[in-house]
Amino acid sequence: MIRVVLPQHLRTLARVGEEVEVRVEGLATQRAVLDALEAGYPVLRGTIRGHTNERRRPFVRFFACEQDLSHESPDAPLPEAVVQGVEPLLIVGAMAGG
Amino acid sequence: MSRVRVLVGTRKGAFVLTADGKRKSWDVSGPHFAGWEIYHLKGSPLDPDRLYASQTSGWFGQVIQRSNDGGKSWEPTGNEFTYDGVPGTHQWYDGTPHPWEFQRVWHLEPSLFDADTIYAGVEDAALFRSTDGGGSWQELSGLRCHGTGRHWQPGAGGMCLHTIVQDPSDAKRLYVAISAAGAFRTDDAGASWRPINRGLRSQGIPDPDAEVGHCVHRIAMHRSRPGVLFMQKHWDVMRSDDAGEAWVEVSGNLPTDFGFPIDVHAHEPETIYVVPIKSDSEHFPPEGKLRVYRSRTGGNEWEPLTKGLPQRDCYVNVLRDAMAVDSLDSCGVYFGTTGGQVYASADAGDTWAPIVRDLPAVLSVEAQTLP
């Protein structure tokens, strides 16, 4: 299982705690994790990436293992520590005022 | 005794204000959706406990919420707004072509005729309709694609479709307004549209009386006379007596004819309300005095309404969707400010009192009269 940490507003929207777990079949990538996340929590569709173009929303970032994965290809493999469930994939609302 | 429910959208959440028919003592519920911008909330006229809210965020995009119990509980519903076909371009601020991109829902308008139908006015300007209570949305693309769309350009707040007015006598007739394109009408339930801007004059565009390009801020109608429309434009208060075919200016003796909201008394179709704002750069009341102006003659002759409103050092704004009326025997009038106050008058504007003083900046106010 892959651990995903959501930002506060999306936890409220999805009515979940800080961390959720998703199961990914095959290669664990950002796209695969987001597909599984949105399948489990349909209310999150459109809030992290675009409905149709699947592009990451500009003020959403993906961190893991103290690295910024936001600009990685959505089809790049996630770090092994994330795949093994040792480290979570952090979905973060960028610091941008508000 | 009848009750009133006032729905308030703010920069940081939604609030539901309720009172009995006296409108003296108010209960305040909220913030709902704390931290999100709530551009608009509105209840179905056919099922008043069914409410819709446009919840939006620069981080996480658009969410539509629906309540079936008058705002006690909410459920997210459909949030996919996809333009019909290849969207093309409109004009950007600098006059260059810019791709149509969905930003947010500015205004939600539940149908007068079907409890499951609701319209959404969005930025970049387009009109969407849901016939399943907000579960899914389809663009009425005849508006955006009717021919002038490529010439539309954003106002300071973005290129938004902010006003949707339904003709209560004709389910196929709708009016919308777009900043900065103007007013448009359909007579075939949204399949085809045409601009209705004859008589408008705007100094900020190359041709002051162009077919499109006018920054219309708000349109209001009294349901007993659906052919009579009142408009607050960027500058000028206007009226039309022929369903928008032609407009005449009725600014009259207003201290300034710039402003955002306009509304009509629930029982007097020639009584209208505006909130004059000093200018298009100084978005605050003239002389620091917050005054609602009322005309009982359908425009031209205006009286200031000041009792209970701050008459010194007041520099708030009142945004286009932030005024509403109830339909109790003595018509209630409500408006919210960018300073977070929501003012109520239970006597058609003669006297005012704040319901709340310290909300986040108010984006929208709607009033429901309940049995």
Tens-place pLDDT, residues B56-100: 999 999 999 999 999 999 999 999 999 999 889 999 989 899 999
Distance CA A43, CA A57 (A): 16
Contacts of A9 in chain B (CB under 8 A): 35-36, 57, 59-60
pLDDT at B128: 98
Residue A98 has a pLDDT of: 54
* Average pLDDT value for residue range B309-316: 98
**What DSSP string describes B129-181?**
EESSTTSS-EE-TTTTTSSSGGG---BTTBSEEEEEEE-TT-TT-EEEEEETT
Question: Is residue B203 predicted with pLDDT exceeding 60?
Answer: yes
Chain B: give the shortest CA distance to residue A85, in Å.
26
Beta-carbon separation of B61 and A47 below 8 A: yes
Query: Best interface-test mutation with A: which of B10, B54, B55, B60 has the largest number of A CBs within 10 A?
Result: B60
Residue A15 forms contact with B (CB below 8 Å): no
Nearest to B59 among A43, A45, A60 (CB): A60
In chain A, which residues have their Cβ closer than 8 Å to the Cβ of B82? 51-52
Domain A2-93 in CATH 3.10.20.30: yes
Q: Give residue A63's pLDDT.
A: 98
Q: How confident is the model at residue A11 (pLDDT cuts 50, 70, 90)?
A: very high
Instruction: Look at residue B238 and tell me whether its pLDDT is greater than 90.
Output: yes
Domain B3-370 sits in CATH at 2.130.10.10
- ipTM value of the model? 0.94
pLDDT band at B1 (very low <50, low <70, confident <90, very high): confident
pLDDT on residue B308: 98
Q: How far apart are CA B25 and CA B183, in angstroms?
A: 39
Please write the tens of the pLDDT for every residue from B322-361: 999 999 999 999 999 999 999 999 999 999 999 999 999 9
Look at the block and give the residue holding tokens 């708000």.
B218
Residues of chain B contacting residue A7, judged by C-beta atoms under 8 Å apart: 59-60
Task: Determine the straight-line distance between the first and last CA of chain B, rounded to whole angstroms.
Answer: 7
Does position A10 have pLDDT exceeding 60, yes or no? Answer: yes
Domain residue extents for chain A: 2-93
Query: Which chain A residues are Cβ-neighbours of B35 within 8 angstroms?
Result: 9, 98
The mean predicted confidence, pLDDT, of chain B is 96
- The answer to whether the Cβ–Cβ distance between A10 and B61 falls below 8 Å is no
Residues 6+ apart with CB under 8 A from B156: none
Is the CB of A10 less than 8 angstroms away from the CB of B60?
yes
Q: H helices of chain B, where?
A: none
